[in-house]
């Protein structure tokens, strides 16, 4: 009987039996490394796991997947939004409509975080646009997500949401998070590093010389 150890599948986003397809040893005289290619027995998608001399394991499934990498948002995104997104990713392949509904909840969490005014998601998104938190192009993105979310939430319309729709919504939502949270956080970090570098440079110039 074929041995298919259980391991995490990034495609399914849950543990599943993995069939070894191939393994590659890329070791040299100085470095021990390689990778395994397996097939998830649930979704039949390929998974790559890399290893090096520091890894200790009995089954290849004990290694974290190298490709595809698990879906995660940057830590600059508030935890409540990240949780909603990860909940959506858990069901993305099995139920694209449920994924879109949860992305809609992530949008609502963003509106709460940014203290958007309005009685519903549509007016809250308009408020964020008027305040310059969301630019024009991403306002359209947000409304597309909202409309598809509303369609997904009604009985009889969920079949209209395809896997391709879910993938597009995923990419659009991540672009929105990059603009609203990730880019400003990177800019603040860059500015802080510049200020610290300037302070150190000024301190060195001000330091009195040693008189021999």
Domains (range + CATH), the chain: 6-62 (no CATH), 79-185 (1.20.120)
Write out the chain's pLDDT in tens, 212 residues.
678 999 988 887 778 999 999 999 999 989 999 999 999 999 899 999 999 988 888 899 999 888 887 678 889 999 999 999 988 887 887 788 889 899 999 999 999 999 999 998 888 988 999 999 998 777 777 777 877 777 776 655 545 788 888 888 888 899 899 999 999 999 998 998 888 887 777 777 666 655 54
Q: What would the 3-class secondary structure string for 3-23 be?
A: CCCEEEECCCCEEEEEEEEEE
Residue in 27, 15, 23, 25 with CA at minimum distance from that of residue 62 = 15
pTM above the 0.75 mark?
no
- pLDDT at site 138: 74
- pLDDT at site 121: 85
The answer to whether the CB of 143 falls within 8 A of the CB of 125 is: yes
């Amino acid at each position: 009987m074929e041995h298919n150890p259980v391991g995490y599948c990034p495609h399914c986003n849950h543990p599943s039996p993995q069939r070894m397809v191939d393994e590659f040893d890329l070791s040299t005289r100085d470095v021990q490394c390689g990778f395994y290619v397996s097939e998830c027995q649930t979704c039949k998608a390929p998974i790559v796991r890399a290893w090096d001399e520091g890894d200790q394991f009995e089954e290849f499934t004990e290694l974290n997947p190298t490709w595809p990498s698990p879906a995660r948002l940057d830590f600059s995104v508030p935890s409540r939004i990240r949780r909603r997104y990860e909940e959506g990713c858990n069901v993305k392949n099995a139920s694209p409509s449920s994924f879109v509904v949860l992305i809609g909840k992530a949008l609502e969490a963003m509106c709460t975080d940014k203290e958007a005014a309005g009685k519903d998601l549509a007016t809250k998104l308009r408020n964020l646009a008027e305040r310059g938190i969301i630019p024009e192009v991403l306002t359209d993105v947000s409304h597309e997500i909202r409309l598809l979310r509303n369609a997904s939430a009604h009985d009889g319309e969920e079949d209209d949401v395809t896997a391709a729709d879910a993938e597009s919504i995923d990419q659009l939502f991540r672009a929105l998070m990059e603009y609203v949270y990730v880019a400003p956080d990177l800019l603040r970090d860059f500015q802080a590093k510049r200020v610290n570098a300037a302070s150190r440079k000024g301190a060195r110039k001000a330091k009195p010389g040693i008189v021999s």
